[in-house]
Amino acid sequence: MALTIETTTDDKIDLREFQEYLLANFDAADPESAIAAAEPLRALANNERFLTDHLNSELLKEDAFQVGNDYTAQTFVLASHHNWFVRANIWTPPSNIPELVKAEKELFPYLVPHDHNFSFLTVGYWGSGYWTRLYEYDHTAVTGEVGEKVDLHYVGRTSLPRGKVMYYRASKDVHSQEHPEEFSVSLNLMIARPEEFARDQYFFDLESETISNVSGKQNTGGVLICEVAGVIGDSTTAAALDALSVTHRSSRVRAACYSSLAKLEPSSVEQVWARALSDPHAYVRKTAVQTLESSV
């Protein structure tokens, strides 16, 4: 299950010092390095002033305020690097204003079980924090289609009060967050491992034990380019698609490569999809089976 990491430090560091620690010590490819970052993250959370000071400096930027932050309204990006970034997440109690209830449901992921296509450390920074229900599943056993049955294992319920540090594993830990009783803030160290970020994010329906939604916006551009290549490409394009069908980290992009290859090489359709049957991801294999069956 998602790991609770015991930290005891009373030290206080600022955001610059936390970044310096990460640049000198953090290895995004090593999960143990993420665990080791728990103490410095707790030290940052011990600093009651740093977020106010950072917010003030951001507000003074006017037109440059939070440029490049394409996350939800609850997320405030504090620092970024090519394989990690630091953010603050805002958690609010449910509104008692009827007109705002619908908007809050769209902005905040409360009571929506979901995984993440990245691993991350989180610590309670302000307020009593939210409660969350925790689940686990086997990502390798999932094709990744809406309505697909998923074997979710309930592993407990926990909270994120101030100073508590937890580590969530990409495409394994599922959580369903509940409204906090008071305004709260958490700090996250987000870890951008390419092999994880290329995966889709899943949302789940607990009652039916199925995938209710799939989010893979980071792969949308790659899929579209592959689809265009299947229409206007040539032999050079086919060679590039052939290579990408093996090396690209996203299963949806690889499936799109096979589909476009089949269009560019109509005399080799069966051979192309036969190769796709050996892809390591169930989504590609299922696409290949369905395509071959429909062509019979």
Domain stop point among 169, 198, 215:
215
Per DSSP, the three-state class of 148 is: coil
Q: What is the mean pLDDT of residues 275-285?
A: 93
Domain stop point among 173, 191, 215:
215
Q: Are residues 36 and 166 in the same domain?
A: yes
Q: Are residues 46 and 85 in the same domain?
A: yes
Q: Are residues 181 and 232 in the same domain?
A: no
By percentage, how much of the chain surpasses pLDDT 90?
A: 67
Range of 153's domain? 3-215
Tokens of 56: 């003030």
pLDDT of residue 64: 47
Distances (CA, A) of 6 to 9, 12, 28: 10, 17, 21
Domain count, the chain: 2
**Which region among 176-185, 192-201, 265-274 has the lowest average model confidence (pLDDT)?**
192-201
Given pLDDT bands bounded at 50, 70 and 90, which one contains residue 220? confident
pLDDT of residue 31: 92
Domain assignment present for 293: no
Q: Are residues 96 and 187 in the same domain?
A: yes
Nearest to 142 by CA among 221, 209, 46, 222: 209
Domain assignment present for 295: no
Residue 69: pLDDT over 50:
no
pLDDT of residue 102: 63
Domain assignment present for 294: no
Q: Residue 179: which CATH number?
A: 2.60.120.10
Residue 66: pLDDT over 60:
no
Q: What is the mean pLDDT of residues 43-61?
A: 85
pLDDT of residue 67: 46
pLDDT of residue 218: 64
Residue 217: pLDDT over 70:
no
- CA dist 296 and 288 (Å) reads 13
Q: Are residues 54 and 177 in the same domain?
A: yes
Q: Are residues 113 and 228 in the same domain?
A: no
Q: Are residues 243 and 268 in the same domain?
A: yes
Domain assignment present for 49: yes
Side chain identity, residue 149: K
Domain stop point among 183, 200, 215:
215
Mean residue pLDDT across the chain: 88
Q: Are residues 141 and 23 in the same domain?
A: yes
Q: Are residues 156 and 267 in the same domain?
A: no
pLDDT of residue 211: 96
Beta bridge partners of 214: 202
Q: Which stretch of DSSP H or E encloses residue 239?
A: helix 235-247
Per DSSP, the three-state class of 5 is: strand
pLDDT of residue 61: 60
Cβ neighbours for 249, distance < 8 A, ≥ 6 positions apart: 194, 195, 198, 199
Q: Are residues 105 and 69 in the same domain?
A: yes
